[in-house]
Amino acid sequence: MPKSWTDEAQEPVVKKDHAHLKDPFIYKVKSFFLGTPLNRHSLESQRLSKRSAFGILSSDCISSSAYGGEQILVALIPAFGLAAFTIFPPMVGVILVMLMAITLLYRDVISTYTRSGSAYIVCKDNFGRVISQIAAVELMFGYIITVAIQSAAGVAAIISTFPELNSLKVQMTIIIVILLTYINLHGVKEAGFVFVLPSYLFMGSMFLVFLFGIYRYFTNTLPVYDSTTVGLVPIGQAQGLLSFAAFLYLLKAFANGSASLTGIEAVSDSVPLFRNPQHSNAKKILTFMSLALGTLIIGIAWLAKQTQAIPYEDGTPTVISLVAKAALGEGVVGSSLFLLTQLGTMLILFAGANTCFNAFPNMVNMVANDGFLPRRLTQRGHKLVFSNGVFFIAGLASLLVIVTGASITILAAIYALAVFIGFALTGAGMTKKSMSTQNLNSKLRVGVHAFATLLASFTVIVLSIVKFAEGTWIIVIGTPLIVLLMLKFNNQYAREQDALSVKQHQERATSISRHDVAVLVDSVDIATVGAIRYARSLNPRHLVAVHFVIDDRRAADIQRAWAASAALDDVTLELIDCPDRRLANSALDYAIRMTQKPDVELTLLLPRRAYSGSLSRLLHDQTAEEIAAPISQLSRVVATIVPFDVDRIISFSKLTTPRQPQSVGKVAEPEKVTKKPSVSVSTEPVSHYAENVTPIDKIKWRKRARVQGHVTSIKSAPRGSAPTLEVEIWDKTGGVSLHFLGRREIAGLAVGSQMRAEGMVGEEEGSMVILNPSYELLV
């Protein structure tokens, strides 16, 4: 055969793509709805700028202002009547103090846990696995309920403008959840672009409402709503604040108002989504978000007090729509701005639900990576999002909407309890962390964290007691049950990991002196011949074919066909009785007998005819899998299924294979050569530097080339051999191997990296290689 260094040799070729499987139907459906799949190396491009991050992550938090104040009035007015508007401002002041404490707490969380600062990470670091799972469960509850409550509140904003749609509230909410799911399956960045505008539109429209309201207040044109309007919540009688009943009503109002602070944790849960420097950008967004939330709470509360906007019993129209209409007036300009405000309110509430579709999958990905949730939740989908996490939150949120009838009051109580348990655990963890740190600010940090922990813990107790019958029982009872289930998942994963771990006595594979191969035969056909051919390639000491006899006539037919086949004349056929027709038992017994001696290893090959289509699967059994399962439990026995695609032969289909060029340049034809031809020698000097990057399919054998592409594979020599490193890079035209002698790694090189290399083009086994090139890693 001609060698590459002789003149008669064929020129080597660059690497080309080979076979490609036909896209399955489900993949075509995903591509149709979601577009072209993203390459995993483009993950960095999905990181969020500060402007996009604010639009995506703050919407949950600032949208809470749309219903938090209203929920306080829902609790106060039936107990204290119109005197509730006097109690309202101090209650809002307490909420603002809590906002400040929790914001400072989560700024420290982001600074301390710079990569991801969720309550789960804080508790895992400071309290261990059980407490961290409680935090994880509360985070999951919080995010799931957020999708339900924000979607329901957004639909309520629509119904406030179009009351005739009230009977379709649940159906509309489910449609919104489905729409959010579809948008988020398109990728984090794409979802961000959709929901950046609502955050700024809502804040801008609400600041206009505040400006109009302030102007009308000072000009004495701000209207006051009639307290006798039909449909309002029951208006109670004024009473003193020192009775036990009054104290309980105040606690209930405080519990309702705490819903205004939900969503603050979303930024710390989503630090990995930010561009670098991640923790610095996350802290800036958290601060700006809290300032915006505080401003909105104050403005809406002040207007509600001045206009005496009493909530309606069925939740629509909402208080925020009442104060907007009062502030903007009834004129053409006012009506237009009111519709704009309602549009902003609706969109920000839907955007708040969307926040959870970003934060929840990232959070459950962390928990699943630790083995407390199914590992399926760690898989990225078509657009590099954790799509299983997206489906998980969408399904449970839809179920919650149906069960609660899309009631904001019921959802708000459950929501607040889950979130404040997370706040309390985070505060406790950060308090412990700060106490172990010795610096000038540690005492101040301990004080701030302890204060936030006390406020959050007090809120948890109030919500658990006062709102138990209204829905918080789900959290109180459900949390320990789900934690136990997650711990069971973790124990199962731990047992599996221990079973698969390499023990010290197994670190070096022992040499088996006798390796036998048996092919289990059920018929004599091309699948059996293929399995025998593969068996010969294993170089066994003994090769035998085995048929377990469950039908004497069939066994005789196989024996005659075996004897008549020239392809099988060197392989012994052994017939073994199987009187009870349990093939798995007979195969297991055979394997045990064949490996009684400790120096024998047995490989059982099971030809499997692969059929596609429902009819084919109905007509054929899955015996190979049934036999392989018990065999795999034996030591020194390996059961290997050798698949053979019958459907491919029936349909005459084959894998798509592009035409492979014979060479890049002109190819000599040795069979036509009668004497050694003259060699055309180039008069150009051999260059040691190639100025321009050459497409890989244009590089020339025995010429110097400069190429650039992304790294698709890295192969390093084993520790016991001479150090070498083979790197394969590809561009749009083809691929080439780079061989580095004397090294096993290159610092900073990883699969997916961009690399530029220059060197002399050589050959190995018909493919072009560049030996010991100079290189540059590209960022």
Average pLDDT for residues 406-425, to the nearest whole number?
A: 80
CA-wise closest residue to 397 among 233, 208, 248, 174: 174
Residue 218 is predicted with a pLDDT of: 92
Range in 90-94, 282-286, 547-551, 621-625 with the lowest mean pLDDT: 621-625
Q: How many helices (H) and strands (E) does the chain have?
A: 23, 11
pLDDT in tens, 437-475: 766 667 788 888 888 889 888 888 887 887 787 778 888
Residue 327 is predicted with a pLDDT of: 93
Average pLDDT, the chain: 80
Inform me whether the pLDDT recorded for 33 exceeds 50: yes
Residue 274 is predicted with a pLDDT of: 74
Distance of CA 588 to the CA centre of its chain: 41
When pLDDT is cut at 50, 70 and 90, the band that residue 222 belongs to is very high
Distance from C-alpha of 777 to C-alpha of 748, rounded to nearest angstrom: 8
Distance from C-alpha of 91 to C-alpha of 44, rounded to nearest angstrom: 44
pLDDT in tens, 582-622: 888 888 888 888 888 888 889 999 888 766 655 555 544 56
In the chain, the largest separation of any two C-alpha atoms, in whole Å, equals 118
Range in 195-204, 281-290, 294-303, 708-717 with the lowest mean pLDDT: 195-204
* Angle, vertex CA 744, rays to CA 739 and CA 747, nearest 5: 100
For 546, what's the count of Cα atoms within 13 Å in the CB-facing half-sphere? 23
Higher pLDDT, 680 or 224: 224
pTM: 0.66
Angle, helix 65-80 to helix 319-328, in steps of 10 degrees: 100
> What φ, ψ does residue 742 adopt, rounded to 5°?
85, 10
Residue 289 is predicted with a pLDDT of: 86
Residue 758 is predicted with a pLDDT of: 93
Q: How many CB atoms lie within 10 A of CB 193?
A: 14
Inform me whether the pLDDT recorded for 716 exceeds 80: yes
DSSP characters over 639-684: EEEEEEEHHHHHHT---B-PPPPS-SS----GGG-SSPPPP----S
Distance from C-alpha of 168 to C-alpha of 159, rounded to nearest angstrom: 9
Q: How far from 755 is each of 163, 717, 725, 728, 763, CA to CA, in Å?
A: 61, 21, 15, 10, 20
Average pLDDT for residues 678-686, to the nearest whole number?
A: 39
Range in 69-78, 381-390, 594-603 with the lowest mean pLDDT: 381-390
Residue 735, beta-bridge partner list: 15, 730
Inform me whether the pLDDT recorded for 490 exceeds 60: yes
Question: Cα(first)–Cα(last) distance of the chain, in Å?
Answer: 44
Helices (H), 127-187: 129-161, 169-184
Residue 660 is predicted with a pLDDT of: 44
Average pLDDT for residues 736-742, to the nearest whole number?
A: 92
Q: Which amino acid appears at position 465 of this protein?
A: I
Inform me whether the pLDDT recorded for 689 exceeds 60: no
For the chain, helix, strand, coil in percent to 5 are 60, 10, 30
Average pLDDT for residues 547-562, to the nearest whole number?
A: 88
Residue 456 is predicted with a pLDDT of: 85
When pLDDT is cut at 50, 70 and 90, the band that residue 59 belongs to is confident
Distance from C-alpha of 391 to C-alpha of 182, rounded to nearest angstrom: 10
Residue carrying the six token digits 């348990």: 421
Inform me whether the pLDDT recorded for 663 exceeds 50: no
Distance from C-alpha of 301 to C-alpha of 86, rounded to nearest angstrom: 11
DSSP characters over 270-318: TGGGBPSSHHHHHHHHHHHHHHHHHHHHHHHHHHHHHHT-PPBTTS-S-
CA-wise closest residue to 345 among 330, 324, 359, 329: 324
When pLDDT is cut at 50, 70 and 90, the band that residue 209 belongs to is very high
Inform me whether the pLDDT recorded for 46 exceeds 80: no
Average pLDDT for residues 507-511, to the nearest whole number?
A: 54
Give the strand pairing for 704-716 and 637-645.
unpaired
Percent of the chain with pLDDT over 90: 17
Average pLDDT for residues 489-513, to the nearest whole number?
A: 72
Average pLDDT for residues 339-352, to the nearest whole number?
A: 84
pLDDT in tens, 106-121: 888 888 876 665 788 8
User: By the 8 A CB rule, do 624 and 604 touch?
Assistant: no
